[in-house]
Amino acid sequence: MTTSDATLKKKTDKSSAKKISWDTWAVLAAFIAALLIRFGVVKHIPW
């Protein structure tokens, strides 16, 4: 992260205070992925 990105993050945080944060989106995305795996929609993730 550069300082200009941090400035952007601050501005974004201020402008979207009432919107869902990236933090929460990340949790939602992780849980959707976990449920897709749990209910067999995605069966295998290679590494």
Residues at the site binding other proteins, with contacts judged by CB under 8 A: 1-15, 21-27, 29-31, 33-34, 37-38, 42-47
CB of 9 to other proteins, least distance (A): 6
**Cα gap 43→36, rounded to integer Å:** 8
Rounded least distance, CB 1 to other proteins, Å: 4
**Closest separation in Å from C-beta 32 to other proteins:** 10
| Residue 1: partners with Cβ closer than 8 Å, 6 or more residues away | 9
Is 39 within 8 Å of 47 (Cβ atoms)?
Answer: no
